[in-house]
Chains A and B, each alone.
Chain A
Amino acid sequence: MGLAVFDQARTASRVGRVRLNGSWQAVARKDLLATSLPWRALAYLVTGAVVGVVVLASLVVSLTAGALLTVFLVGVPLLAVPVVAAVPLGALERRRLRIMGAEPAPSPHRPAGRGPRGWLGTRLREQATWRALAYTGLLAVVLGPVELIAVTYGLVVPLVMICAPISVAEAGHIVLLKFWPLDSLTEAFAAALLGVAVLVAAAYPITALATAHALLARLLLTPGKAEPGERLAELTRSRSRLVEAFEVERRRIERDLHDGAQQRLVALTMTLGLAKVSPPAEAAELVARAHQEAKLALAEIRDLIRGIHPRILADRGLPAAVAELADRSPVPVEVDVAVPRLPEAVESVAYFVVSEGLANVAKHSGAEQARVRGRLDGRLLTVEIRDDGVGGADVTAGTGLAGLADRVSAVEGRLMLSSPPGGPTLLRAEIECLPALP
């Protein structure tokens, strides 16, 4: 089981196809050269070539050493190194995907068990790891070398040609690229012009190659739709569902007020009314009871207000508000939230994800420890709540998580859940936003 994005799996393939078509359409655009895409493609290929060479070298070393040492048994673990290393390489490659586009590339890996053993156990049993290994092999053997050649012919060769006039002016006579003798500046300028033409023409194959690489990386390194429990789907942002979500929220507030504070206040006035017509001794007792009821009503209103919009969130932002939530949680929570002030709506939704997540941890997980992590990477806010409990959280059971998904979608975000039976559970929200202006 991996991260399941709410809610309809079948939209995934459509989204994938649109994305794919979009990429190729971008390459075929007439004004491609006016966009930043060729430059980004170039950057993607240059870094890709470097990564490919490093990976190839490491693979050769570890496999050779492993094969040689297998005789002494110590080599066997060395053979597993590529498998393990494929996971962080996948993470690096997902980060590198951002060069090619802003679309987030979520990790396909499910949260790992505790300790190195737990981590290895989880990783070796999931398909995503083996896909990452396949990608590693492809990168080292095919993509890396091909990109090295592409960068050489698409960038280095034309640059050398463009620089020909300088070389000729200095040396008087050169053999350009070891096969083209140039004796005069006129010839050199002709070569330079040709170099510019090659550079411009190379933009297209370079962009195409980078696009193909990015698509392949996306295919192998992000969650696929067909994996068991690993449904990736954009949330259907239906207006009616959003309206419904807010309506449900309003009803909840109204119900809470009606059942809680208002009920207590009516009882309180009744008790005081009785005290007014009672003999002094009895009245004192009734007033004491009324006092107690008033305090309970206050506490209930306080809780309710905190549930609507906590003061600390408005005043101090997400890190402080989450820390406060963690303090109130019966399960120990490790908080690692480092984000700036964000738009109010985003902060509010992120807060409720944590609030609901921790409430679920306390109610259902049986966990001994929970962790909340929040980061703003570029424009993507990621909030994660993980626990070491029994797992098995279900989106379809109860309205909590589904309602939460609606709230997250209201700010154009996505909510993901991974909770295999036996645990652990990871709840993640991703919301695109910019830091709030101070």
Chain B
Amino acid sequence: MTAPEQQLARVVALLEANRPEQALTELGKVGGSAATGRLAYRCRTVALSELDRWDEVAETARRGLAEVGPDAELLGRLGRALREQGALAPAERALLDALALEPEDPWLLCQYADLCTSVGQTDKAGRLVDRAAALAPEEPAVYASRIQLAYARGDDRSAQRAARDFLGRHPDHPAALALHGSVAVTAGRVGEAHRSFGRAVAHDPADADYAEAAWETRVYAHPLLLPLRPLYRFGFRLWFAAAAAIVVLNLAGLQVAALVVSVLWVLYCVWSWIAPPLVRRLVRGRWRA
């Protein structure tokens, strides 16, 4: 193995160890033709993607494609970056070009499924995920796409089931932990979500989205918002329970008790409306101070 090849092998090892910053530093040291080879471009786009530096991902992928010719991985990374930039039609074009080269690549199929999910084309996304699952059922990208698809369809139970399966199969995968956290937020399980996002950050400290989500769940774990946990957990079922209680008290002739419950309920609702933005401002102000 030549020196540049050894350096690239180190870069790959760093990426596998989830250390994208160091991988980029190491890539900067690669010399000769290896620095502008297919593997170097692929590694660079992977590292930049891990760091959510989407403008640079797009630029690097384009430069790589101009240098080394058509490449499914680089086109896939370009598609992902364009999606993050909001250029959805060009993102689709790049992903379809990638799939023309590698039609049975589960990761590419999932990327295209995620793009379709994000524009509300959930039927097409479902067929793409099924195809990816038939090829690689245990692939993290397949689990992640399945959860996002169920979430976009409003099918929270399927999303919860898929998140549990993902975490069961890949207990230390940052995406599994983060998606488990997101699903827990949707179900109103704030404490569980906070723990999941905390673990995701511990496994992938470079990801700004996980850090942001961990911060957000920390806000919702604030003592001022503790009384709202039943509302987050049971949602509109709590509204109906309160309305039913007021009706029953009125029918039983307990007008004063019904009035007290009504006033308390209205105050609780007003609190649930104004408290979260208030606490968010409070916590943010304390962090800045």
Does A associate with B in a complex?
no
